[in-house]
Amino acid sequence: MKLVVGLGNPGERYRATRHNVGFEVVDELARRHGLHDAADQAKSPAEAHVLRWRRADTGVLLAKPLTYMNLSGGAVQTLCHFFKIETPDLLIVCDDVNLPLGKLRLRATGSEGGHNGLRSIAEALGSIEYPRLRVGVGRGDARRDLADHVTAEFEPDERPGIVVAIARAADAVETWILDGLAKTMNSFNQEPRESF
């Protein structure tokens, strides 16, 4: 069993914001594979929306914590414990302001890099040894408060680029499920071909 957790903030206020790119990747995977009806919803022991993706090769859970970004760790820890997910079978998908818009970076481990959701997960799991897929959302104007930046929607000229990045990130998740971390890193940790 594998667990893919997209990070974000619940509620309409945050729906299309930079911080919710992880949610959008999970939504894209659910859309691609028709996981929207009640039969696909897994019983969730955590404050999270969970869908069960039934595959011939392995079971996959897609989750969106509903705890707000800064408290994501509790939901992730509970899901891992309940579904007996080992950290190599966990993939966290989140935004990253330190990456240019649209760039993907998949790593097996690493620091939180200032990301409060990743910090919460590391604290809850007691380790930074878990795979994470970061989706670049850009830093924007360095004079702007970072919290305001990540909870703001993309500019109109940025939206086409992030739509492509979300699709690529969903492709990366599918590759990770089928082929593992190393192959996915080799395929997706490159500059996207599209120019944003």
Q: Please identify every residue annotated as catalytic.
A: 19
> 132-136 and 104-107: which strand pairing?
antiparallel
* Side-by-side strand order, sheet with 104-107: 48-53, 60-65, 2-6, 90-96, 132-136, 104-107
Instruction: For residue 195, give both structure tokens.
Output: 């120019």
Helix axes 159-179, 181-188, angle to 10 degrees: 150
Q: Which residues pair with 48 in a beta bridge?
A: 65
